[in-house]
Structure 1
């Protein structure tokens, strides 16, 4: 995130929350602890305000840019991890009441629709000034959410047909 410009830990928290936080979970403490570790490793520098709140601003170094480039060029063989509480509940639905399934399906459908709509609105806000890879990331997020939204919509239809 510092490759986009200098930032305080609070600034990083804001940037992450609006961008990669949509698809990569970060503990807020990590956004406060990690820059100090990166500074110790020489990958970023830190400057403290002389007065006022004495905020610490971090900036990426040439060594940090090199490390980022190396990380970006390394293989990515890991499988995508999906952690969806609704999907987990669906898997174990045999042990609960079927009456809860329709409520679960409607809630998950609404959740994924809202998230997809949010990604779409975000895309429209940044399309003219963000780099194309950030836009492509949002496009994949939109497609993912629409696909899952469609699954839950079809499941709702199936459950409603079963009730008739």
Structure 2
């Protein structure tokens, strides 16, 4: 991740944090400490160079080396057989909903639908801003993010409709 972000241009660790937060931070979870520790490690390995400010806060600006570009290209060329990992708290709560209280399921569905709609709307707004001038592959990753969020939003919308239909059914009589 660090090599890929620095392939776009030199940056301090703080700059990296900002770049990641606005881009891949939307779909790749990371510890912010990585953006402070990892560049130093990569510099020791010869994949980055470091320029340190003289005086002031002595900020370090990192730049990718030819070896760093080569390592990035090797990583990009390596197979990616891993399955997509889903860590969705709403899905986990749905799985255990048998033990939820009255109204909890409807509340969960409402909040998850709203959350995914908001995220999809945000991605769509970003897409409208950058689609014409951004890197083609970054735009494609954003398109996938929009599709995923809209699909999950649609799931929760349909689930809400299912809950509402269940609520309209007359109670079963077990006679």
TM-score in same-fold range (> 0.5) = yes
Under TM normalisation by the shorter chain, which class is it? over 0.9
Q: TM-score, normalised by structure 1?
A: 0.98
Alignment pair present for 1:138 and 2:161? no
CA deviations over 1:132-163 (Å, ceiling 9, x no partner): 00000000000000000000000001111111
Equivalent position of 1:82 in the other structure: 86
Equivalent position of 2:124 in the other structure: 120
Alignment pair present for 1:61 and 2:57? no
Q: Which runs of 5+ in 2 are unaligned?
A: 169-175
Match of 1:91 among 91, 95, 107: 95
Alignment pair present for 1:102 and 2:106? yes
User: Secondary structure of 1:58's partner?
Assistant: strand
**Superposed structure 1 runs of 4+ greater than 4 Å apart:** none
Q: TM-score, normalised by structure 2?
A: 0.92
CA deviations over 1:87-130 (Å, ceiling 9, x no partner): 00000001222421000000000000000001111111111221
CA deviations over 1:34-87 (Å, ceiling 9, x no partner): 000000000000000112221100000000000000000000000000000000
Q: Which runs of 5+ in 1 are unaligned?
A: none
- CA RMSD after TM alignment: 0.7
Alignment pair present for 1:4 and 2:8? yes
Tell me, in whole angstroms, the C-alpha distance in 1 between the residues paired with 2:141 and 2:14.
23
